[in-house]
Structure 1
């Protein structure tokens, strides 16, 4: 009987912990940005619908600390920082499968990143499903 109490307690503790990079696999695409001079806050507001449609979360780290994100929860910064440990600045696009899909030093216009995402096979499947139901 005690296990019926402990299992929900364990699940609530587990779900409240800060998310690691791995926790987003198969849930979201990630744009991880390191030490870019400009704020990305404006991007989150202007492109909210496009980001949501592509299941794209953006994480901007400055000086090895999370400066801003469109993800409302907490993250374990170290798991993200390992990705860019050899980079002074730059960005990574991570696909749903957790693989690096694109990596560059200078952040291009968001439309370029959207085009990369929209060309991915899983995204093409999402677009087809949306057309079929819409």
Structure 2
């Protein structure tokens, strides 16, 4: 093998090795920091009654979720569906395997709701249905949200 060809093959193998560590379909929560609040509904089985109640609780809430800069992740097992209310309900889906999404859950729980603030910190974690009123109350009491409302009212 010539030196030039050996160099090309080596570079190819190095690049392929580096690429294998990058999640292809995964979601990186850091991309939302300072832009979006994240609401996550996670279940091991989408047929669970508590999960169905949670999804139903937020039906027809697009305007409120958009106003509060929400991105909603509905996770079932290793798959997610993302609804970005800041972009006219842009929806996509994929796998959470190897992503920052899977690191925020308690693997023992069959159902969880997690709220992540604009700063990227977990603001709420619970295993019961979260009502719209409770969510809006929590978010509207946050300093960043109060600042948003003050700017909006001026």
Greater radius of gyration (CA): 2
Q: Per-residue deviation at 1:99?
A: 0.3
Q: What is the alpha-carbon root mean square deviation over aligned residues?
A: 2.2
Measure the CA separation in 1 of the matches of 2:95 and 2:144: 27
Q: In 2, are the aligned partners of 1:92 and 1:103 still within 8 Å (CA)?
A: yes
Identify the match of residue 84 of structure 1 among 89, 93, 105.
105
* Distance change (3 Å), C-alpha of 1:24 and 1:47: same
**3-state DSSP class of the match of 1:40?**
helix
Size of the aligned set, in residue pairs, is 114
**3-state DSSP class of the match of 1:129?**
helix
**3-state DSSP class of the match of 1:86?**
coil
With 29-38 and 17-26 compared, the bigger mean Cα shift is at: 17-26
- Once the two structures are superposed, residues 90-133 of structure 1 have per-residue CA deviations (whole angstroms, 9 ceiling, x without a partner) of 1111000000111111122111011100000000000011111x
Q: Per-residue deviation at 1:43?
A: 2.4
Gaps of at least 5 residues in structure 1 are 1-16
Taking the TM superposition and a 5 Å limit, the aligned residue runs for 1:76-115 are: 77=96, 78-88=99-109, 89-115=111-137
Measure the CA separation in 1 of the matches of 2:108 and 2:62: 28
After TM superposition, the score normalised by the length of structure 1 is: 0.74
